[in-house]
Amino acid sequence: MTDARFLQIHTLTPYTAALLNRDDAGLAKRLPYGGVMRTRISSQCLKRHWRIAEDPHALHAIDGVEAARRSREVVTKRVIGPLRKSFPDEVVEVLEPEFQMAVYGDKGTTRSARQTLLLGEPEIKWLAGEAERLATESKGSAEAAKSNASAWRSGFRANVKALRDQTALPAGIEGALFGRMVTSDPDANITAPVHVAHAFTVHEEEAEDDYFTAVDDLGGDEPGADTIQETELTSGLFYGYVVVDIPGLVANLAGDRDFAGQVLHNLIYLIAEVSPGAKLGSTAPYGRASLVLLEAGDRQPRSLAGAFETPSLPRVAQAAGNLAEHLGRLDNAYETEEDRRVMSLVHVEVPRAESGSLAELAKWAQGLPL
């Protein structure tokens, strides 16, 4: 298919006795829907685990991919830090605030005031090279460093824009997929072509407070536990939803359609296989999708969350049936005629969908941008 604008990715994924995504109180994140409370996994949590996955299908396993770093400390650690070994402190101390303000805005000299910013490796390497050049040209003079840095900063936006225009992935693969917002430099903003919804349980939340103890091995015959704690554990079948704006993805990858296809191929695997869990040592929160449904078309996307407005039983078969039934009603009402592929561990008749393995679905998605 050459005219698909959007790829929609729907998943049903089970997790048992886990704490996948916590709020500020250490409890599982939640979402009210359909008159009941559901367990939730935030889109930020999902995207982070897909970004950093160490996997045969990781984004960084793709040839030509540039990485990115999300931090308040990029200038401190990657740009200015290396200069301290080779240049006088008085020169480095003059350069640092100019670079902090150029990257993070006028309040960038204070760490707590900086925006946690995503910068691609091409941008970081360019900044580090510029800092080294200015330090070298200052010839040990703090006064010269101040003059050079001031002149450099006045042309910063034009120069960094030229860099971004001439570089395929200036903000790394993370910026190309999930976008970037820079309040101090609107020209650096990137529109995200990958849109990720918060995942939620198709049924009412299932949670339990886990009371546990730790025994002091050297405590001898002393009775009782050395430590008594309590944590929340949840179980659930989660509905996940992702939309990819295919032309937007191709544009962010400098028009390279083959590259965009490889990204889609790997993204399908990551969404189906990578778990977002914390507390790895005590819960082993690993799971894979029981159902993956792909839809390609040119009409505005629409979630299938409505299939679970009335809470389902926490069973894959019933949830898959509810999803297929809801999709059929949408087809009858809107006649959008998306092209569909489905992988399911349970028998389900998804309207107009060809069944296949995850590998077959990923290969099909790879061909969409071509």
Question: pLDDT > 90: what percent of the chain?
Answer: 83
Query: Please, which pLDDT band fits residue 223 given cuts at 50, 70 and 90?
Result: low
Mean pLDDT of 96-105: 94
Find, among 168, 194, 190, 170, the residue nearest to 180 by Cα.
Answer: 190
pLDDT higher than 60, residue 173: yes
Q: What is the pLDDT of residue 337?
A: 92
Q: Which has the minimum average pLDDT: 48-57, 122-131, 160-169, 260-269?
A: 160-169
Mean pLDDT of 289-293: 99
Task: Determine contact, residues 141/135, Cβ cutoff 8 Å.
Answer: no
**0.75 surpassed by pTM:** yes
Query: Please, which pLDDT band fits residue 1 given cuts at 50, 70 and 90?
Result: very low
| β-pair partners for 252 | none
Task: Determine contact, residues 203/312, Cβ cutoff 8 Å.
Answer: yes
pLDDT higher than 70, residue 285: yes
Mean pLDDT of 139-151: 96
Find, among 279, 179, 296, the residue nearest to 243 by Cα.
Answer: 296
Separation of alpha carbons 201 and 31, rounded Å: 9
Task: Determine contact, residues 193/252, Cβ cutoff 8 Å.
Answer: yes
The burial of 56, by beta-carbon neighbours within 10 Å (0-12 exposed, 13-18 middle, 19 or more buried), is given as exposed
Query: Please, which pLDDT band fits residue 183 given cuts at 50, 70 and 90?
Result: confident
Q: What is the pLDDT of residue 327?
A: 99
Return phi, psi of residue 235, to 5°.
-130, 150
Task: Determine contact, residues 148/137, Cβ cutoff 8 Å.
Answer: yes
Mean pLDDT of 36-55: 96
Contacts of 272 (CB under 8 A, 6+ apart): 11, 288, 289, 292, 343, 358
CA distances from 297 to 4, 9, 236, 355, 361 (A): 5, 12, 30, 18, 15
C-alpha angle with apex 262: 258 to 263, nearest 5 degrees? 115
Both tokens of 360, joined, read: 């077959």
